[in-house]
Amino acid sequence: MTGYTGFSGDPAEQQGNYLVLHIDTDVEGATIQVELIGGAHGPVTLDSDRTLISRIKNKGEKIKITASKEGYPTVSKTYTLAGLKLEPASN
């Protein structure tokens, strides 16, 4: 993808491969954080639409999803992105 300004105002981050995830949960009041392991921006707390857009540089990256709710134990799960097919950069 090129010229995508919805991810970042930095022109260097407006092209590449992006992963869009929608975390489908019906747990009212839960906080969902998603982190691209080794990414530049750290964990992101999802808003009410529970959708994450992340720029993926290599398919060896991992995503960690953490759900928490007061009164319940925090649960984390890490997913590998090894199965992704990434398009090479176009010049």
What's the whole-model pTM score? Answer: 0.75
75 within a domain of the structure (yes/no):
yes
> Quick check: is 2 in a domain?
no
The mean predicted confidence, pLDDT, of the chain is 81
Dihedral pair phi/psi, residue 28, rounded to 5°: -65, 135
For residue 23, pLDDT beyond 60: yes
Q: Is residue 1 part of a domain?
A: no
Distance separating alpha carbons of residues 28 and 69, to the nearest angstrom: 9
Q: Give the structural domain span for 25.
A: 11-80
Q: What is the CATH number of the domain that holds 73?
A: 2.60.40
Give the number of C-alpha atoms closer than 13 A to the C-alpha of residue 83, restricted to the C-beta side: 3
Q: Which run of H or E residues covers position 78?
A: strand 75-80
- The CA-based diameter of the chain, rounded to the nearest angstrom, is 52
Give how many domains the chain has, as a whole number: 1
Question: Can you tell me the mean pLDDT for 36-64?
Answer: 83
DSSP, collapsed to helix, strand or coil, labels residue 12 as helix
How sure is the predictor about 87, in pLDDT bands with cuts at 50, 70 and 90? Answer: confident
